[in-house]
Structure 1
Amino acid sequence: MEPTPTLKPAKAEIIKQAKAYVEQLFDEKLPRQLVYHSFKHTNTVAKEAAALGQAAQLAAPDQEALVLAAWFHDTGYIDKYDGHEYRSIELAEQWLTEKNYPAERIALVKDTIRATHRDEKRDTELAKLLVDADMSNLGREDCLADAELLRTEWEATQGKVYTNAQWAEFQLDFLLQHKYLSEAGKARYKDQLKENIKEQRKSLKKQEKKEKKKAEEAEGYAEGKRGVETMFRSTYSQHQRLSQMADQKANMMISLNTVLLSVIITYLGAKTSTIGPAFTKNPVLAIPMGLLVATALGSVVTAILSAQPDVTAFKWLRRSPQIATNRRVNILFFGNFTKLSLDHFQDGMHELMRDRDLLYNNMITDIYYLGEVLSRKYRLLRVSYTIFMVGLILTALAFGIVLLYKA
């Protein structure tokens, strides 16, 4: 009896074309928030599917169908997240039909992709092999790193936020419950799956210790978490009221001095007014009028500077993506995060949501810079009111002196 020849992974032209098509499709249409279900993941699943098919000694046509299903199994993510498998089936059917692929083989590829949905049956050998390839990350050394990518993706797309301890517990439960379906999958991944479970248990214990330590430290805050939040809320509210008061005072000075300047310029320049000829006949009036104009001008300029928007930002932010850990930067402020790329902003926000100390640090930083802006506003307002007051006094004195001189 002749030995069974070793089957090699399918290298048909149709598979090469499928790879190129999926790569271009993901590059053009896959949402950037999908950092786990990316082309890298699909490429890995296709390679694992080919290896499992070879280990299971599939016939060449079935090997080809399995690898094609692997390439298309996540393409539906370009349009939808939940239920993407059914959209993947549609895209695979459309593309394979355009390539004149046999109808019965298209049906086989579609059934194999359908099996990757959690509610579908996995009765056939191809279905079991593809599902095992899709979940192969659980039985590989990069399991924990891939899990962090999935965590980030869920937070960005599904709004599911976990603490480090919660995520470690979730991952451990998932690893313990998972069972590979095919014999080839069990043989290829079972040993590393056991190692990953051990590592995840260690990670969970480590995170639980950290959470316990943070809980103990939190008791040191005034009246616990509620007291801290009340303090921040009242401080922000006070800053907003002070800022509104400063803007109202600045607007009052701007309006008053603008009207004053308009009236002076209009009457001095009008030939028909009584003040215009009087001013021409008595040049000495230029002194009090000049003081009044200078007073109004100086006061309105400083009031405008006070009301002028002031955005505190750092020019070096683009070159420093690790902003979430920088105590000088408040990532919650638009003047800072608009200087970043979307990826860096998302990374910073995820880090901020995971770490309470970083969150409080950002809020404290925000209050500090709000105080700086308020200090500048009120300093300029004080200058504006002082100029106006002193200018009016000097103008009145100058007019009095002129009247006495004329008398």
Structure 2
Amino acid sequence: MDYKLLLGKAKQYALAFIQKNKTQDYCFHDTAHTDDVVKAVEEMAEHYNLSEEDHFVVMCAAYFHDLGYCTGGAAKHEERGADFAESFLTQENVENSIAEKVKGCILATHTPQSPSNLLEEIVCDADLFHLGGDAFETRNKLMHKEAEQIAKFKIAKNVWRGLTIELLKNHHYHTEYAKNKLDKGKQMHIESLEKQQQKKLAQNTEETKAKKPDRGIETMFRVSTTNSQRLSDMADNKANILLTVNSIILSVVVAMLVQKLDSNQHLIVPTVLLLIIVVATMVLAILSTIPKVKDGHFKQEDVENKSVNLLFFGNFHQMPYQSYYDAMKKAMDDYDFLYSMLTQDVYSQGVVLGRKYKLLRYAYGIFMFGLIISVIAFIIAVILVN
């Protein structure tokens, strides 16, 4: 049998089949991969000085071993590749025993590999020859790209790196030739990937620490906000006390004194003085509780410049929900922006509290000293009349 001629036909058939049936998704399992496997098989066949028949068997298996990818993807591709090889060899009137050997070599490449003789071991090692070779990084990137295209989603580099490390550690070459030539390189690839993985993990840890707020910072903002709210409630209660007391005084003065001023003209000055003090106190108390509300709009450029406080309702109550949602999502992804808003919120609450307590201080001062002066005025007026 002219094995050289038959191998030429097998090569022509297999490469033409791949070119005709391959898809863009399979950027790793293509003619380049087939050529690499064929070269590796040729190298090992020469080393082991195989017979002409055995040389044909492993070379034919190398050409046909991945044809199944073209007609159904990775699942059971070895079985389909073996069937293609059997069909081709039958057409070429090749002995059934040789066809069975070729099929056995192809089926043995199924993961986990299970070769039972030297020929099958050669094909299995050639199929993953790149794991210990110089082209590992390039071929691994293509494998990553192919996996993403088949899965239809992105696979993070650190995830793929972890899967590759697991593959390299679990894999072992079968022939002594491959072990001697490739095990050292494979170990170097494992160490290199593990260093990259550790470096990336350390980098992610540092970034997380840099981005993730410390408990002390969270506690500071929580305590500050709580204290501000408590002080605001206290201010409102104080204002309410002033309004209530002065409302009662105003009602009494209007109901009892004002109607009797015609017959008690000496009480006009003290009464007017008391009314002025009461009204002034009430005005200041009311001013301290009047909220300031903005127009409720913010601009996109305010979000981009991180100059808007999205935690204060006055800045967004007139905005569409989607605009507010998009702005808040950006803020939650940007810790600098988030801290800036929290700081603005604490500062704004402090400014409001400063204004409230300033007005309340004036109101209490006017009420206290004004009440004393009014009482003295009433006493003087009564003494002068008597």
TM-score with structure 1 length normalisation?
0.50
Aligned-residue identity in percent = 23
Contact between 1:141 and 1:196, CA under 8 Å: does it hold in 2? no
> Pick from 166, 169, 176: which aligns with 1:173?
166
Question: Which residue matches 2:20?
Answer: 28
User: Which moves more between the two structures, 142-151 or 208-217?
Assistant: 208-217
Match of 1:128?
121
> What aligned pairs does 1:213-362 form with structure 2 within 5 A after superposition?
213-216=206-209, 219=212, 238=322
Matches of 2:45 and 2:179, distance apart in 1: 13
| Aligned 8 A contact 2:173 2:179 in 1 | yes
For 2:84, the equivalent position in structure 1 comes to 91
Map Cα deviations across residues 344-388 of structure 1 (whole Å, 9 max, x no partner): xxxxxxxxxxxxx9xx9xxxxxxxxxxxxxxxxxxxxxxxxxxxx
Q: What pairs up with 1:96-111 in 2 under 5 angstroms?
A: 96-111=89-104
Which residue of structure 2 aligns with residue 41 of structure 1? 33
- In structure 2, the residue corresponding to 1:12 is in which secondary structure? helix
Question: How big is the shift at 1:174?
Answer: 1.7
Residue 53 in structure 1 maps to residue 45 in structure 2:
yes
CA distance change for structure 1 residues 61 and 204 in 2, over 3 Å: closer, same or farther? same
| Equivalent residue in structure 2 for 1:141, among 109, 134, 149 | 134
Report the CA distance shift for 1:211/1:101 in structure 2 as closer, same or farther (over 3 A).
Answer: farther
Q: Which residue of 1 aligns with 2:60?
A: 68
Q: 1:213 Cα deviation (Å)?
A: 4.5
CA-to-aligned-CA distance 1:89-120 (integer Å, 9 cap, x gap): 11111112222222211111011111011256
* Two-structure CA RMSD over aligned residues (Å): 3.1
- Which residue type is aligned with residue 118 of structure 2? E
In 2, the alpha carbon distance for the partners of 1:201 and 1:67 equals: 35
With over 3 angstroms needed to count, the CA separation of the structure-2 counterparts of 1:119 and 1:193, relative to structure 1, is: closer
| Cα offset, 1:13, TM superposition | 2.0
Distance 1:216 1:149 in 2: 34
Report if the CA contact (8 A) 1:73-1:113 is conserved.
Answer: yes
More off after superposition, 141-150 vs 84-93 = 141-150
2:7 to 15, 18, 22: 15
Instruction: Work out whether residues 113 and 124 of structure 2, in 8 Å CA contact, stay in contact via their aligned partners in 1.
Output: no
Aligned match of 2:295: none
* Residues in 2 aligned to 1:160 and 1:28: alpha-carbon distance in whole angstroms: 26
CA gap of 1:170–1:120, structure 2 versus 1, over 3 A, is closer
CA deviations on 1:8-46 (whole Å, 9 max, x unpaired) are xx9812222222222221111111101111110111001
How far apart, CA to CA, are the structure 2 residues paired with 1:217 and 1:142? Answer: 37
Q: Given the two structures, how large is their TM-score scaled by the length of structure 2?
A: 0.52
Is the contact between residue 37 and residue 126 of structure 2 (CA under 8 Å) also seen in structure 1? yes
Q: Secondary structure at the match of 1:35?
A: coil
> 1:194-237, CA deviations, whole angstroms, 9 ceiling, x for partnerless residues?
222222222222322343355346548xx9xxxxxxx9xxx998
CA distance in 2, matches of 1:42, 1:95: 17
**Which blocks of at least 5 consecutive residues in structure 1 are unaligned?**
1-9, 224-230, 240-356, 361-407
Shift of 1:82: 1.0
* Offset of residue 55 of structure 1: 1.3
Asked whether the 8 Å contact 2:3–2:53 carries over to 1, the reply is no
Partners of 1:236 and 1:188 in 2: CA distance: 66
Task: Determine the C-alpha separation between the residues in 2 that align with 1:181 and 1:237.
Answer: 63
Question: Cα distance 1:103–1:11, how it changes in 2: closer, same or farther (>3 A)?
Answer: closer
Instruction: Look up the equivalent residue of 1:53 and give its one-letter code.
Output: A
- The number of residues matched between the two structures is 223
User: What does residue 393 of structure 1 align with?
Assistant: none
1:247-275 per-position Cα deviation (integer Å, ceiling 9, x unaligned): xxxxxxxxxxxxxxxxxxxxxxxxxxxxx
Per-residue CA deviations over 1:281-309 (Å, capped at 9, x if unaligned) read xxxxxxxxxxxxxxxxxxxxxxxxxxxxx
Compare CA radii of gyration and give the structure with the larger one.
Answer: 2
Q: Which residue of 1 aligns with 2:283?
A: none
**1:335 equivalent in structure 2:** none
- Code of the residue aligned with 1:74 in structure 2: it is D
CA contact (8 A) 1:165 1:211 kept: no
In structure 2, list runs of 5 or more residues that go unmatched.
219-309, 311-318, 324-329, 334-386
In 2, the alpha carbon distance for the partners of 1:211 and 1:159 equals: 26
Matched position secondary structure for 1:151: helix
Call closer, same or farther: CA 1:119–1:166 in 2, change over 3 Å: closer
How far apart in 1 are the matches of 2:11 and 2:24? 20
Deviation at 1:167, TM superposition (A): 1.8
Are 1:112 and 2:108 counterparts? no
Offset of residue 139 of structure 1: 0.9
CA offset at residue 137 of structure 1? Answer: 0.9
Could you tell me which amino acid in structure 2 is paired with residue 215 of structure 1? T
Structure 2 CA distance, aligned partners of 1:210 and 1:89?
47
What is the alpha-carbon distance in structure 2 between the residues aligned to residue 236 and residue 104 of structure 1?
A: 76
CA distance in 2, matches of 1:236, 1:88: 59
